[in-house]
């Protein structure tokens, strides 16, 4: 982590500050030469360091200042600003509720563009975990959310449940597997009822696109019993959903094991025996026989239980 960049300083600011600590007083021209950066980059970095109180000028030369006092002062100022922002949000939220007739823990999301901005904010701001439900579609082209890989690289846990329809769409499945290879935990479940995104346990975004429109039917849910309920809904689906692996095949398993995984994946997607038979290039009778054998092997009474047991045994 670049500490000064995290505070909004320019890219070279930390390098400039480190150089000043090691070499005492120096000039902008000397800095540009020593660090092999442009004069404009030095100028911007110096201005950022001055604004943070980490640099002073002595006889026309720059001198680094010990960081504790100025940065603690900076932290106190930001804390005051944060308190003021929370107070303003609470007061304006009450005013909004008064005029709109809605609970103050709900915010309407009017457009898909607004929903995308909020989604980006969830991925950028979440530190502990992100939970997501995605309806998905066998015909709609899914896209990897902007900022998802950066969120995973930061160490934030991302758990996603996709509608089983994605398993019928090779492009959508490849997208999901790409996300898994970057660290996402993904599962599928038939009939996911909504698009849901939860940022830590702070707020949630629920949104559904209005057909043939840029409008959205969506809402932000802030800390409340309602938010706790949505977290509970996600966790219930997570326990029932079937994991998706980063690859549909593996080099060390034989043809029969590969076909078994394909059969189980198709079952999880809700495909009919006829569709599964067509995919595996076998008869429907063979499909039913294999399903019966797998149910007997895993002690599953129903096809849904078969998917759950197969998941627990690491077959999916």
> Which CATH number is correct for 3-65, 1.10.10.10, 2.60.40.1120, 3.40.50.10800, 3.40.718.10?
1.10.10.10
Count of C-beta atoms within a 10 Å radius of residue 302: 9
- 186-224: per-residue pLDDT in tens? 888 777 888 899 999 889 998 875 554 555 578 888 888
What proportion of the chain, given as a percentage, has pLDDT over 90? 8
Per-residue model confidence (pLDDT) at position 156:
92
- 41-60: per-residue pLDDT in tens? 888 888 888 888 888 888 87
Contact 162, 177 (CB under 8 A): no
Per-residue model confidence (pLDDT) at position 313:
59
CA torsion, ordered 251, 256, 258, 260, to nearest 10 deg: -150
Per-residue model confidence (pLDDT) at position 248:
37
CA-to-CA dists, residue 31 to 22, 25, 57, 61, angstroms: 12, 10, 14, 11
Q: Which residues contact residue 189 at a Cβ distance below 8 angstroms, ignoring those fewer than 6 apart?
A: 161, 162, 163, 164, 237, 240, 241, 242
Under CATH, which number does the domain 255-312 receive?
A: 1.10.10.10
Per-residue model confidence (pLDDT) at position 93:
62
- Two domains, one topology: 105-243 and 255-312: no
Tell me the three-class secondary structure of the chain, residue by residue.
Answer: CCHHHHCCCCCCHHHHHHHHHHHCCECHHHHHHHHCCCHHHHHHHHHHHHHCCCEEEECCEEEECCCHHHHHHHHHHHHHHHHHHHHHHHHHHHHHHHHHCCCCCEEEEEEHHHHHHHHHHHHHHCCCEEEEEECCCCCCCCCCCCCHHHHHHCCCEEEEEEEHHHHHCHHHHHHHHHHHHCCCEEEEECCCCCCEEEECCCEEEEEEECCCCCEEEEEEEECCHHHHHHHHHHHHHHHHCEECCCCCCCCCCCHHHHHHHHHHHHHHCCCCHHHHHHHHCCCHHHHHHHHHHHHHHHCCCCHHHHHHHHHHCCCC
Q: Is the dihedral of CA 63, 66, 70, 75 positive or negative?
A: positive
Per-residue model confidence (pLDDT) at position 253:
31
Contact 49, 37 (CB under 8 A): no
pTM (2 d.p.): 0.53
Question: Which residues of the chain register pLDDT less than 70?
Answer: 1, 5-6, 25, 89, 91-104, 136-142, 167-168, 209-216, 245-257, 269, 297-300, 305, 308-309, 311-316
Q: Any idea where the domains of the chain sit in the sequence?
A: 3-65, 105-243, 255-312
Per-residue model confidence (pLDDT) at position 249:
34
- Counted residue by residue, the chain has a size of 316
CA dist 230 and 25 (Å) reads 57
- Residue linked to tokens 């290879």: 181
- 236-248: per-residue pLDDT in tens? 888 877 777 655 3
> Which CATH number is correct for 105-243, 3.40.50.10800, 3.30.230.10, 3.30.870.10, 3.40.50.720?
3.30.870.10
């Amino acid at each position: 982590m670049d500490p000064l960049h995290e505070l909004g300083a320019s890219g070279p600011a930390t390098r400039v500050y480190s150089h000043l600590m090691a070499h005492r007083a120096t000039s902008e021209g000397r800095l540009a030469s020593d660090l092999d950066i442009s004069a404009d980059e030095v100028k911007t970095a110096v201005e950022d360091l001055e604004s943070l109180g980490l640099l002073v000028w002595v006889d026309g030369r720059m001198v680094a200042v010990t960081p504790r006092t100025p940065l603690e002062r900076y932290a106190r100022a930001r804390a005051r600003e944060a308190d003021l922002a929370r107070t303003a949000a609470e007061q304006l939220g009450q005013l909004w509720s008064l005029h709109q007739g809605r609970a103050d823990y709900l915010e309407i999301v009017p457009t898909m563009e607004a929903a995308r901005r909020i989604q980006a904010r969830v991925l950028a701001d979440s530190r502990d975990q992100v939970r997501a439900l995605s309806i998905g579609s066998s015909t709609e082209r899914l896209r990897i959310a902007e900022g998802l890989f950066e969120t995973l690289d930061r160490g934030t846990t991302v758990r996603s449940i996709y509608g089983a329809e994605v398993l019928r769409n090779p492009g959508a499945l490849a997208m999901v597997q790409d996300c898994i290879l970057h660290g996402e935990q993904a599962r599928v479940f038939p009939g996911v009822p909504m698009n849901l995104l939860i940022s830590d346990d702070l707020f949630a975004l629920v949104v559904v696109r209005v057909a043939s429109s840029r409008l959205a039917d969506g809402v932000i849910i802030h800390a409340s019993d309602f938010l706790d309920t949505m977290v509970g809904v996600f966790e219930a689906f997570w326990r029932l959903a079937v994991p998706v692996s980063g690859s549909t095949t593996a080099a060390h398993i034989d043809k029969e094991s590969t076909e078994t995984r394909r059969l189980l994946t198709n079952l999880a997607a809700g495909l009919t025996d006829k569709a599964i038979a067509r995919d595996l290039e076998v008869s429907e009778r063979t499909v039913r026989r294999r399903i019966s054998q797998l149910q007997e092997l895993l002690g599953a009474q129903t096809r849904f239980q078969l998917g759950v047991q197969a998941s627990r045994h690491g077959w999916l």
